[in-house]
Amino acid sequence: MIMTSTYVNGHFLTLDSETPVASAVAIRAGRFTAVGDDATVLTHAGPDAEVVDLGGATVIPGFNDSHCHIEFAGQAGLVVDLAGVGTVAEALAVIRDFVAGQPAGEWVTGSGWHPPSQLAEARYLTRAELDEAAPRNPVFLPTVGHVAMTNSAGLERAGIDENTPDPSGGTIERDSAGRATGVLYEHAIDLVTAVKPGWTTEELEQQFAAGLARANSFGITSVLQPYLHSRGIRALQRLWQDGRLTARVGVLWAPDPSVSLDEWRRTVEATGVSSWFGDEWLKLAGIKLISDGGMTLRTALMRGAYPGDGHDHGMATMSAEHLTDLVVAAHERDWRLGVHCVGDLAVDRVLDAFEAADRVRPIAGRRFALIHGSLGRREQFERARALGVRLELQPVFLWGKAATIEKGLGTETTNRAIPMRTAIDVFGIDAVSMGTDFPANELNPFSGLQLAVTRRDARGVAYGPEEAVTREEALRSYTASGAFATRDETVKGTISPGKLADFAVLSDDYLGVDADHIKDLEVVRTVVGGRVVFER
């Protein structure tokens, strides 16, 4: 039986230029069949259609988080939850309590968190502290993807001692005696993950299902999963086959970039598929590479040296030559590339690689992306636009981490961080999409919307107010613009006849609430393909 429904008496912000505001929509077989006023739309409703009176509520297109590691939202009970700790003592107490319930010798993993901005001490935990909290278990505490902590047992299992050299593109932090502190940067983390058992496909399947359900509670109907290995893709495929996906997922595959160029060529060709393989529910959206670290960690690769250290320009995860070789080889095999680049020097290197690929075959229309581009400059954005490259950014980094960025990079650089106004002016709104980088930042889209509109962080401190955007621009970049990243702009992102019926009903009027209360908006109902997947 084909599902039909009609929503009336609403305030639809459609983002469709032909009908920007409507009061009703008709839905059949998961798509909008009519958008307009109540009387007109009701003529399209079949005799068996369910009619939902919205009571004047505001409705927006479903959020499309264009950078979200959503499986982390489904790990409750499986990892040490460090999201709410505020001091080193609190973190160690939470770890101690979790470890008490685990068998001796088994690995203990932490959730994504950010000690420099989150803890009062603004530092990472040491191996000695972790040894005390977890004397019987190896511990692995990842942060926002570029730094991790481990204890003595973890270092021992990874074979890391005083004689272990730093791997290419990574650093083993050491004390004055040359002993590893337990803090690992970039590819040094791989030394631990190589020996630590990963999640099974079944466990990942459960995490994705729970994570997508949580995303639905925030009105998120699509996510771009920016870094997945084969096991994670397989887990999503199982959910797709069983009809259990409650949001649409674009996937960026993450093959090992440390291999030789010949092996890289064989790897990206051996799959037999390439970018855009899939459907409206699950789609391969390209390959993800990482070129540098992060601005909250003082590891973003910068043209100028970091304040206080005339020789520190951040960290490159690979040489510029290797990056270019990987990009060109993948492009030759029909893969779209999205490359993590935060610092301005990293953006330079990524654009060099994209230009090399463009000389082999034009990349315009392939949706190549600068992922983050947080400290990119106008001339770099203009260079990217000329290539047809898009920008996938996350203004919400400033919401809770602006003070940390300011401490590491200075006020002037923080003011120009995540320059959304400049980006939209240069790229055009369709090529600038917003996301969260969850779990590095909170999943709630409304914090990111408020930050983009006000440029004030959670403390109320303003950074670069000239980079603020309008409410409609912010909303569009969080919905319609994200559809362009996966070549889905003709089927989703706006409330338009013929498009997928993905939308969110809000607790208040997004355009009418005070700008400093956008973060307080809630989603009361989320609909994906005409089916209610969340109701408050």
CATH number at residue 99: 3.10.310.70
Q: Whose structure tokens read 């912000």?
A: 13
Phi, psi of 211 (to 5 degrees): -65, -40
CA 300 – CA 417 distance, rounded (Å): 12
- Is 476 a member of any domain? no
The amino acid at residue 450 is: Q
The token duo for 409 is 């990079």
Q: What pLDDT, on the 0 to 100 scale, is given for residue 76?
A: 87
CA–CA–CA angle 520, 526, 529 (5° rounding): 150
Q: Which of 14, 64, 52 is nearest to 433 (CA)?
A: 64
- Is 489 a member of any domain? no
Return the bridge partners of 410, or none: none
Phi, psi of 286 (to 5 degrees): 135, -165
CA 162 – CA 526 distance, rounded (Å): 53
Each residue's pLDDT tens digit, 24-62: 999 999 999 999 999 999 988 878 889 999 999 999 999
What phi-psi label fits residue 398: left (phi over 0), alpha (psi between -120 and 50 degrees) or beta?
alpha
- Is 101 a member of any domain? yes
The amino acid at residue 403 is: A
Residue 440 and residue 490 in contact, taking contact as beta carbons nearer than 8 Å: no
Each residue's pLDDT tens digit, 182-219: 999 988 999 999 999 989 999 999 999 999 999 999 99
Residue 70 and residue 438 in contact, taking contact as beta carbons nearer than 8 Å: yes
Length of the chain: 536
- Is 242 a member of any domain? no
Q: What pLDDT, on the 0 to 100 scale, is given for residue 1?
A: 56
- Sorted by sequence, the CB contacts under 8 Å of residue 436 that are 6+ apart come out as 65, 67, 68, 394, 396, 442, 443, 445, 448
The token duo for 188 is 């040094």
- Is 114 a member of any domain? yes
The token duo for 161 is 């001692």
Q: What pLDDT, on the 0 to 100 scale, is given for residue 169?
A: 85
CA 357 – CA 352 distance, rounded (Å): 9
Q: Whose structure tokens read 């009361």?
A: 524
- Sorted by sequence, the CB contacts under 8 Å of residue 59 that are 6+ apart come out as 7, 10, 11, 12, 13, 495, 503, 504, 505, 506
Q: What pLDDT, on the 0 to 100 scale, is given for residue 48?
A: 84
- Is 141 a member of any domain? yes
CA 12 – CA 503 distance, rounded (Å): 10
| Residue 404: HSE in the Cβ half-sphere, 13 Å Cα cutoff | 22
DSSP result, 379-390:
HHHHHHHHHT-E
- Is 124 a member of any domain? yes
Q: Whose structure tokens read 């290539």?
A: 387
Total domains in the chain come to: 1
Beta-sheet strand order (sheet of 147-150): 108-109, 139-142, 147-150, 180-186, 170-174
CA 110 – CA 142 distance, rounded (Å): 6
Range of the domain at 86: 75-193
CA 412 – CA 406 distance, rounded (Å): 8
- Sorted by sequence, the CB contacts under 8 Å of residue 84 that are 6+ apart come out as none
Q: What pLDDT, on the 0 to 100 scale, is given for residue 247?
A: 98
Helix, strand, or coil (residue 50): strand
Q: What pLDDT, on the 0 to 100 scale, is given for residue 184?
A: 95
Q: Which of 181, 104, 89 is nearest to 135 (CA)?
A: 104
Report DSSP state, residue 228: E
Helix, strand, or coil (residue 54): coil
Return the bridge partners of 148, or none: 142, 184
CA 131 – CA 127 distance, rounded (Å): 6
Taking 50 as the pLDDT cut, the residues of the chain under it are none
Q: Whose structure tokens read 């400093």?
A: 516
Q: Which residues of 252-263 are buried (b: 16+ CB within 10 A; e: fewer)?
A: bbbbebeeeeee
- Is 240 a member of any domain? no
- Residue 243 CB burial class (10 angstroms; 0-12, 13-18, ≥19): exposed
Q: Which of 487, 513, 491 is nearest to 501 (CA)?
A: 491
CA 135 – CA 368 distance, rounded (Å): 46
